[in-house]
Every structure is written in C-alpha cells, then in structure tokens.
Amino acid sequence: MASVRTVQVTFDCAEPRKVADFWKQVLGYVDPPVPPGFDSWDDFEATLPPESQGSAWACQDPDGVGPRLFFQRVPEAKTVKNRVHLDVRVGTGLTGDERVAALEAEADRLEPLGATRVRLMLADEENESCLVMQDVEGNEFCLD
C-alpha cells in the first residue's frame, strides 16, 4: 500500500482569490511561489485565456506543516451545509469559560475579515465548546 505524503484541501467557490485571501489571514498562510519566468501571480494570470483567469488560487503553510488549500471556481452556488469542514484549533487544552473566551476572541478577529458567526455550541458530557462560523462565501468551519 502506498503511503500518503501530503494532503491538499480543495474548496469549490465563486471567487477563488477572495476566499484564499480570507484563509491566508485566518491561518497565516501565504501564496505559493510564483512560477518561473513571472514576477507575480498577476503576471502569470494575464497569460491565461480570459475564461481561465481567476478560476483558481492556492495558499500554503509557510512552514510546510499544514495542508495546501486550493480554491477552484465552479458555476453553481453553495446550497447546503458542507460535508467536510476545517476546524481551526484555537482552544486546544482549554476548558470552560477560558475556552469560550478564546473562541470568542478569535471570532472577533475573524469577523472584520468577512467571517460570520453561526452558533456557539457549549460543552456537554462528551465535547468541549466550539464556535461554528462561515467564511466569506458561506462555507462552514469551526473554531475548536
């Protein structure tokens, strides 16, 4: 059996660069290196056929630890809840009010970037508190 070396998470979206810019700010990610022979990604995009310009974007962990995120333009709008979502781990090791405060502080940071709060799910007998949010195109993610 082959072993998996890396994972890329792909998002379907209407505006790939806008969604990538949001996630870069959330996670501290950066754009991948510009292809050889180009001074910028904008220069590279300008060489593509008009229908392909703006159709895809990516970002990556500058330390190479987290997965690469890829964003691709699709014609249909998001209509239902995501079947897969990202958990942004901001409360690891925290419990109770301290955990909720960390989740709320991160939500406060993300809202000006375009994130929307959906609901706070308080701890129960099995799970710690988490805060469900949406990105700039309505894709759900959790502050965990």
Residues 63 and 90 in one domain: no
Nearest to 109 by CA among 86, 131, 140, 137: 131
Residues 65 and 96 in one domain: no
Residues 90 and 113 in one domain: yes
- 10 against 81, higher pLDDT: 10
Residues 12 and 68 in one domain: yes
At residue 2, does pLDDT exceed 70? Answer: no
At residue 118, does pLDDT exceed 80? Answer: yes
Please give the tally of structural domains in the chain.
Answer: 2
The whole domain housing 102 covers: 86-143
What integer is the mean pLDDT of 13-39?
A: 97
pLDDT tens column, 79-92: 888 888 999 999 99
Q: Using DSSP, state whether 14 is helix, strand or coil.
A: coil
Indicate whether 3 belongs to any domain: no
